[in-house]
Amino acid sequence: NAGVMQNPRHLVRRRGQEARLRCSPMKGHSHVYWYRQLPEEGLKFMVYLQKENIIDESGMPKERFSAEFPKEGPSILRIQQVVRGDSAAYFCASSPGQGLHGYTFGSGTRLTVV
Amino acid sequence: GQQLNQSPQSMFIQEGEDVSMNCTSSSIFNTWLWYKQDPGEGPVLLIALYKAGELTSNGRLTAQFGITRKDSFLNISASIPSDVGIYFCAGQLADGGSQGNLIFGKGTKLSVKP
């Protein structure tokens, strides 16, 4: 029974490149959440998606960041024209429905911008 | 943005000692969660609290949802070496934000006394 799968685990990008982070939710989960964690900090909410819908993007930076959760396939967090300040761990969580029941985190993608 | 004040920031434990940490906020929460995060991994849920005044145990861990709904504490009794790690409180605001949008504290880092 696979948990929330994130890939890649580590990603290195040069400034100006694009970063694509993938999240496959747990089986039976149709709600996905993305968080960002800077060193020595707690996680900060970015976006909440259901299949083909963005429910809450109140934590997403206004530029360069986008997220999708298509009908088929994983959820994607896309960062265009990365800058050094984008270096962080990005975590995805999934849940079977609204609310916190069954809310489970993945192991994260560590993005380093050089 | 909303903040959770988590303390202490770090502490050293000796095997067998009891450990206590807490989170406070100026905002009211309808859910409190306590997570543990090991290096290179995502947060793992330890205890979830859904009602003001609720006291819940999970093995050697005990957590309480403060009666004012603005605070929570976590106690670990008779600590063992594998308790080392970073502990986060997280909460869901009672007013505002979508379900599943969690606010995290900055963490309490537990290390072994040299």
Residue A42 and residue B4: Cβ atoms within 8 Å?
Answer: yes
CB B103 within 8 A of CB B4: yes
Mean pLDDT over residues B37-62, rounded?
A: 95
Least confident of A5-14, A46-55, A95-104, B6-15: A95-104
Give the pLDDT band of residue A1 (cuts 50, 70, 90): low
Query: Which strands form A65-68's sheet, in the order they lie side by side?
Result: A5-7, A19-24, A75-79, A65-68
Q: Hey, what amino acid is at B113? A: K
Nearest to A45 among B31, B102, B106 (CB): B102
DSSP A51-78: TTEEEE-TTS-SSSEEEE--SSS-EEEE
* pLDDT, tens only, A44-99: 999 999 999 999 999 999 999 999 999 999 999 999 999 999 999 999 999 998 87
CA separation for the pair B114, A40 (Å, rounded): 21
CA atoms within 13 A on the CB side of A19: 30
Residue A98 and residue B33: Cβ atoms within 8 Å?
Answer: no
pLDDT of residue B76 exceeding 70, the answer is yes
Residues of B in contact with A91 (CB under 8 A): 42-43
CB B22 within 8 A of CB B108: no
Query: Could you tell me how many CB contacts below 8 A there are between chain A and chain B?
Result: 70
- The verdict on B30 touching A (C-beta cutoff 8 Å) is no
* pLDDT, tens only, B89-112: 999 988 766 677 899 999 999 998
Nearest to A91 among B31, B42, B103 (CB): B42
